[in-house]
């Protein structure tokens, strides 16, 4: 672990490494390497606090690095192009394997290496005291090996752990949350109540076809695996529709079917793949180098009809200009699929890679689809935010509601921070006196208002505002809440917001996190305070519940319940 940790300190691109560890038994000499979670999350805090935490991390990593190096008589660093026999010991951020060079203590990183796998790797890059290798040959496969059902699993970066048993994936995620809570959150696992605080991870019953939204890219350069590089491709054969190849912004892995999206969405994808390259239609993919071409992205969203419960699909073409006549053949073909009820065209004239357009047009059907969640109906537009895994969102929101502990007598105020389109707040509104929601994205606030009206909920107020830029007046336009729900994005909460919450002293906070590293950091502030700023923590962590929202990926959701001292 010492050398693995040193990678984080010396490699800026990996400075915020989040270790994913596994529970199979290790030799005693590897226990220390295996047990320590990696460290610093992505900071959005004020300068001095950020510097303090990063300096603590730097000191610890440097000491560990020196200890590991001192065990070797000479300094070791493999050369570029050198082949090494390696054993993967754990997974790191973005699913890269952490591997140790035998007899040296030196650690290298390898994409697509999994714990327990013994393999031959070739050194491809050197950066400071850190090196990357590419797997050349597997000698012994990893623990809990399963056959990945997706044909693109060896190449696609979307779900790299498909060939790891689901039970092993869950163990890794649960262990990651535990170690981050201890090492970043500074919660001791020696106290008796720690076992009752840390809950077992909630698995996802549906492990494939769970995503209700997928975004594919059109590309002028098709990415090919090494064994096919010799095949000559000319003209439209170079074009691709699929997912960006890992590490390439300008190459696209052509995908005919994705096992994460719904079957109707795969029908649409196959229908478009069948004809969009036909030269008679005059369709060209956008080229990110020359900034020419028409087709940029294909977004597929799946919902459910509120009356029948049957699936309904939205197809959104993102193009560089508005030329509906060019899309007409595709519209005619996919509108024949019964589940397709909406075909949209977002026009994005910028050179960036975003799929949100400056203008939006309805080419077929309606401009929104619906989804049902916790008994409420939500309208989803092309650019709306909505929980990507609807089935598991039901589980997640039920856990949030249980943590909130609303009495149900209509007497309590709920403050919903980072409310998005209002999904969490609206599911709680029926048991609350009033819900006040805050979100920075104007379109999300518009959707929240529309969803409240659609469900005839009148006790919810949604306000557009940046929670990273609040001032002393924040909180003056709503009554003191009994319960705070906070669901920030991956960077977590800004120090200004954390200070506000500590000053507010609401009796209960339910913290919903998609990044266990920043979650652990924020829990440390709320519970233990910040000594350098003379801020005293005022909350006690009562429970921490990991939830697996996205099988076969490293992403983890956590629900944390905090109560005032």
Q: Which tens digit of pLDDT belongs to each residue from 128-154?
A: 777 899 999 999 888 888 999 999 988
Angle between helices 516-528 and 495-504 (to 10 degrees): 40
Q: What is the CATH number of domain 213-225+237-373?
A: 2.40.50.1070
User: What does the pLDDT read at residue 1?
Assistant: 39
d(CA 224, CA 213): 25
Give 389-564's CATH code, choosing from 3.40.50.150, 3.30.420.40, 3.40.50.1820, 3.40.50.300. 3.40.50.150
| Number of residues written out for the chain | 565
Tell the burial category of 356 from Cβ atoms under 10 Å away from its Cβ (0-12, 13-18, 19+).
Answer: middle
Q: DSSP characters for 119-154?
A: EEEEEEEEETTEEEEEEEEEEEPPTTB---S-TTTT
pLDDT in tens, 21-44: 333 333 323 333 333 333 333 333
pLDDT over 90 for what percent of the chain? Answer: 63
Residue 3 near residue 106, CB atoms below 8 Å: yes
- Planar angle of CA 121, 125, 127, nearest 5 degrees: 130
**pLDDT score recorded for residue 104:** 78
Q: Map residue 242 onto helix, strand or coil.
A: strand
Binding residues for S-adenosyl-L-methionine: 387, 418, 439, 487
- Whether 558 shows a pLDDT value over 50: the answer reads yes
Lowest mean pLDDT among 132-146, 186-200, 542-556: 132-146
Is residue 84 within 8 Å of residue 123, measured between CB atoms? Answer: yes
C-alpha distances in angstroms, 115 versus 68, 304, 396? 21, 40, 29
Residues 52-64 have a mean pLDDT of 36
Average pLDDT over residues 356-378: 94
Question: What is the DSSP code (8-state) at residue 217?
Answer: E
Give the Cα separation of 10 and 479 in Å (integer).
Answer: 47
Q: Using alpha carbons only, what angle is made at residue 524 by residues 519 and 526, rounded to the nearest 5 degrees? A: 95
Output the pTM of the full model.
0.82
> Is 484 a residue whose pLDDT tops 90?
yes
Helices (H), 365-478: 390-404, 423-429, 442-454
Sequence-ordered list of residues with C-beta below 8 angstroms from that of 35, at least 6 positions apart, any chain: 1, 21, 179
Q: Sorting pLDDT into bands at 50, 70 and 90, what band is 45?
A: very low
Q: Which residues are annotated as a binding site?
A: 387, 418, 439, 487
Q: What does the pLDDT look like over 72-96, one tens digit per residue? A: 434 678 888 999 999 988 776 566 7
**pLDDT surpassing 70 at residue 368:** yes
- Structure-token pair, residue 394: 């039901």
The confidence score (pLDDT) of residue 225 equals: 79
pLDDT at 359 over 80: yes
Least confident of 15-19, 69-73, 332-336, 523-527: 15-19
Name the band, by pLDDT with cuts 50, 70 and 90, for residue 564.
very high
CA 389 to chain centre: 12
In the chain, where are the structural domains located? 78-143, 213-225+237-373, 389-564
Distances (CA, A) of 359 to 344, 347, 449: 11, 5, 22
Q: What is the mean pLDDT of the chain?
A: 85
pLDDT band at 473, cuts 50/70/90? very high
Token duo for residue 305: 């009809």
pLDDT of residue 256 exceeding 50: yes
Both tokens assigned to 204 = 């996802």
Sorting pLDDT into bands at 50, 70 and 90, what band is 234?
low
pLDDT at 158 over 50: yes
Instruction: Give the CATH number of domain 78-143.
Output: 2.40.50.140
| pLDDT at 305 (0 to 100) | 92
Per-residue pLDDT at 356: 87
Closest CA to 431 of 419, 413, 449: 413
Would you give the end-to-end CA distance of the chain in angstroms? 36
Which pair of structure tokens corresponds to residue 342? Answer: 């909406």
* Residue among 291, 369, 298, 370 nearest 327 (CA): 298
Say what the pLDDT of residue 246 is.
80
pLDDT at residue number 77: 82
Query: What are the b/e assignments for 16-29, b being 16+ CB within 10 Å?
Result: bbbbbbbeeebeee
- Whether the pLDDT of residue 50 is over 70: the answer is no
pLDDT of 243 reads 94
Q: What is the pLDDT of residues 379-421, one digit of tens each?
A: 999 988 889 999 999 999 999 999 999 999 999 999 999 999 9
Determine the pLDDT at residue 94: 64
pLDDT (tens digit, 9 = 90+) per residue, 416-438?
Answer: 999 999 999 999 999 999 999 99
Rounded to an integer, the average pLDDT of 491-508 is 96
- 3-state DSSP helix/strand/coil % of the chain, to nearest 5: 30, 25, 45
Fold agreement (78-143, 389-564): no
Burial class (CB in 10 A: 0-12, 13-18, 19+), 347: middle
- The confidence score (pLDDT) of residue 230 equals 64
pLDDT digits (tens, 9 = 90+) for 265-322: 999 999 999 999 999 999 999 999 999 999 999 999 999 998 898 999 999 999 999 9
Active-site annotation holds for 419: no
Q: What CA–CA distance (Å, rounded) separates 133 from 111?
A: 8
Whether 415 contacts 463, CB under 8 Å: no
60-69, 88-97, 146-155, 180-189: which has the highest mean pLDDT?
180-189
* pLDDT at res. 116: 85
Confidence (pLDDT) at 228:
67
15: pLDDT strictly greater than 50: no
Query: What's the pLDDT score for residue 68?
Result: 43
Residues above pLDDT 70, as percent of the chain: 85
Burial class (CB in 10 A: 0-12, 13-18, 19+), 247: exposed
pLDDT in the model for residue 63: 36
Residues 510 and 524: beta-carbon distance below 8 Å: no
Of 514, 527, 558, 560, which one is the catalytic site residue? 514
Measured in degrees and rounded to the nearest 5, phi and psi for residue 332 equal -65, -35
Residue 4's pLDDT band (boundaries 50, 70, 90)?
very low
**pLDDT at 161 > cutoff 60:** yes
Residue 40 confidence (pLDDT):
36
Which of residues 378 and 235 earns the better pLDDT score? 378
């Amino acid at each position: 672990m010492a050398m693995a940790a040193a990678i984080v300190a010396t490699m800026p691109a990996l400075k915020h490494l989040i270790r994913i560890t596994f529970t199979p038994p290790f030799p005693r000499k590897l226990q220390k390497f295996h047990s320590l979670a990696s460290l610093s999350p992505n900071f959005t805090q004020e300068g001095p606090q950020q510097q303090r935490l990063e300096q603590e991390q730097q000191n610890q990593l440097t000491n560990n690095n020196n200890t590991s190096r001192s065990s070797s008589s000479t300094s070791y660093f493999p050369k570029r192009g050198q082949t090494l026999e390696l054993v993967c010991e754990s997974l790191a951020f973005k699913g890269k394997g952490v591997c140790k060079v035998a007899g040296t203590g030196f650690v290298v990183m390898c994409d697509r290496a999994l714990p327990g796998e013994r393999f031959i790797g070739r050194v491809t890059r050197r950066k400071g005291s850190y090196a990357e290798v590419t797997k050349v040959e597997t000698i012994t496969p990893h623990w809990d090996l399963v056959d990945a059902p997706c044909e693109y699993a060896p190449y696609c970066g979307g779900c790299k752990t498909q060939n790891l048993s689901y039970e092993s994936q869950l163990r890794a995620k649960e262990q990651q949350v535990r170690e981050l809570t201890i090492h970043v959150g500074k919660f001791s696992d020696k106290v008796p109540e720690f076992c009752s605080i840390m809950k077992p991870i909630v698995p996802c019953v549906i492990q494939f076809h769970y995503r209700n939204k997928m975004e594919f890219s059109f590309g002028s350069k098709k990415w090919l695996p090494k064994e096919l590089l010799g095949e000559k491709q000319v003209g439209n054969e170079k074009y691709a529709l699929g997912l960006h190849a890992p590490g390439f912004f300008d190459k696209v892995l052509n995908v005919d079917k994705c096992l994460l999206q719904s079957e109707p969405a795969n029908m649409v994808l196959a229908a478009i793949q069948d004809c969009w390259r036909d030269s008679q239609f005059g369709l060209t993919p956008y080229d990110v180098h020359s900034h020419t071409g028409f087709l940029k992205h294909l977004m597929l969203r799946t919902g459910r009809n509120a009356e029948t419960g049957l699936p309904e699909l939205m197809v959104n073409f993102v193009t560089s200009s508005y030329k509906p006549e060019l899309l007409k053949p595709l519209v005619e073909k996919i509108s024949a699929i019964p589940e397709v009820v909406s075909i949209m065209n977002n026009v994005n004239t910028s050179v960036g890679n975003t799929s949100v357009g400056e203008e939006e047009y309805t080419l077929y059907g309606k401009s929104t689809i619906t989804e049902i969640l916790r008994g409420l109906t939500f309208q989803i537009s092309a650019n709306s935010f909505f929980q990507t895994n609807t089935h598991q969102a039901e589980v997640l929101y039920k856990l949030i509601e249980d943590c909130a502990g609303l009495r149900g007598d209509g007497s309590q105020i709920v403050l919903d921070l980072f409310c998005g389109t209002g999904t969490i707040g609206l599911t709680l509104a029926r048991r609350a006196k009033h819900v006040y929601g805050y979100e920075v994205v104007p379109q999300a606030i518009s959707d929240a208002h529309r969803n409240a009206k659609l469900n005839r909920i009148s006790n919810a107020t949604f306000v557009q505002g940046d929670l990273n830029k609040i001032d002393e007046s924040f909180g003056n336009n709503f009554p003191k809440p009994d319960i705070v729900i906070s669901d920030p994005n991956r960077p977590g909460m800004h120090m200004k917001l954390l200070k506000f919450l500590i000053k507010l002293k609401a009796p209960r906070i339910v913290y919903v996190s998609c990044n266990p590293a920043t979650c652990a950091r924020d829990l440390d502030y709320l519970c233990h305070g910040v000594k350098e700023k003379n801020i005293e923590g005022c909350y006690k962590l009562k429970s921490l519940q990991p939830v697996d929202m996205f099988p076969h990926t490293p992403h983890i959701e956590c629900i944390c319940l905090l109560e005032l001292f």
